[in-house]
Amino acid sequence: MTRRLLWAATVIGGSFAGGMVTSALFDTHGVVHARPDSPLPPPPAAATVVERDHAGSPAPDRFEQVIQQIAPAVVSVDAVKPATTPSPTGKSKPTEESGSGVIVRLDAARGYYAVTNNHVVGGARPGEITVNLADGRIIQPDRVWTDPESDIAVLRLPAENLPFAELGDSDRTRRGQWVLAFGSPFGLNQTVTHGIISARDRGQISLGTTIRIKEFLQTDAAINPGSSGGPLADMSGAVIGINTAIASNNGNNSGVSFSIPANLVKRVARELLEKGAVSRGYLGLQLAPTIEPAAALRLGLSRSWGALVEGVHPDGPAAAGGLQKGDVILKLDAVEIRDENHLINLISALPPNQKIRVSVWRDRQDRVLNVVVGDWAVVAVRSR
């Protein structure tokens, strides 16, 4: 079921060969699910201080220092995926995909790993994936983990002494902060562009049927097809995001690009390596994409924050906890809910069977309900 059209733009994942995630930006009603960790937001942190010139931008040599630090760990990724639909001749042909990635070390395991997008390598066997290093070496991963819901893929590289980049703390990013984007746009490996963080926690965008976890960093750094999976770095030389999509009318850069925050990458990678899959909670709701100001006033609300419930699944945790159609969810425990995507991410961060207090606005009154979070994996299996 589609939601109201938010933008006239088209969001396109940056995979070069044909794996672009393309979708007009429609909102779709969704079951609540998405994002691993505590729902409590982290405390504010000071932005990284870097040397700046008289105009307020980083000193010219700072860009060069970060490029020298990050570029050796940036890779291009090629994958051959099994055919999903037959060709006009009746014979199925495999699909070739190309994108970017970055080599990192992960706390959950020893060795070297390349992080990229699921839409670049998802469905391809390790033997059908090649990782091309900046120094010309070619490595094939011996293990691949993917999480379609966050569009994250992790490739284990069977090699020693590889260059790698550090995954930074994306919760410390601030609007206006300078960043560098690395990738292989249009097959042009080792390309670097610069810009700023334009916004955080972007979620009201559609990126295909499988991507549900959306809390993107938005940047105006030029990102084009082929840059999917490449790193977004701050001026300290830390990777704060993985480039995933652009908003565009023609498929090329228009100054609105989206990156998966590094902290989400770390959480997903940790669960993939430790458990083989990501555990996510859910409530069993259909939510409105937004609460219009006029609708908020009609409901007796003074601002258009919160998540409006448009439907409750009869056998889900929300129904068991007493949630009803027309409720506006205002708080999850002590955390105020900004919008439906914020709620989805918070619930998905919780483990199944955890009890939570849900504050709702019903009949112009505040109510508090106790709800037990369900297991999204069980629902996903049933829906197949």
Please provide the distance, in angstroms rounded to a whole number, between the alpha carbons at the two ends of the chain.
17
Token output for 212:
């549900």
Q: CA 152 to CA 225: how far, in whole Å?
A: 17
DSSP 234: E
Instruction: Identify the bridge partners of residue 12 per DSSP, sorted by sequence position.
Output: 22, 246
The active-site residue, picked from 151, 234, 327, 339, is: 151
Residue of 228, 248, 259, 359 with catalytic role: 228
Which amino acid is it at 160? E
Say which of 33, 76, 78, 119 is annotated catalytic: 119
Per the document, the length of the chain is 384
Residue 170 known to be catalytic: no
364 φψ region: left (φ > 0), alpha (ψ -120 to 50), beta (else): left
Neighbour tally for 321: CB within 10 Å: 19
Q: How far apart are CA 173 and CA 261, in angstroms?
A: 9
Give the integer Cα–Cα distance in Å for 266 and 165: 13
Q: Strands 257-261 and 216-219, how do they pair? A: antiparallel
Task: Give CA–CA dist 99/77, Å, rounded.
Answer: 5
For residue 49, give the amino acid letter: V
Q: Distance between CA 292 and CA 129 in Å, rounded?
A: 46
Q: List the structure tokens of 366.
A: 């505040």
Fill in the DSSP letter of residue 204. Answer: -
Residue 151 annotated in active site: yes
Distance CA 13, CA 231 (A): 14
Distances (CA, A) of 231 to 115, 265, 365: 9, 11, 46
Ramachandran area for residue 176 (φ above 0: left; ψ -120 to 50: alpha; else beta): left
87 is catalytic: no
SS3 186: helix
Six-digit token string for 34? 């998405």
Give the residue numbers annotated as catalytic, written as ranges: 119, 151, 228
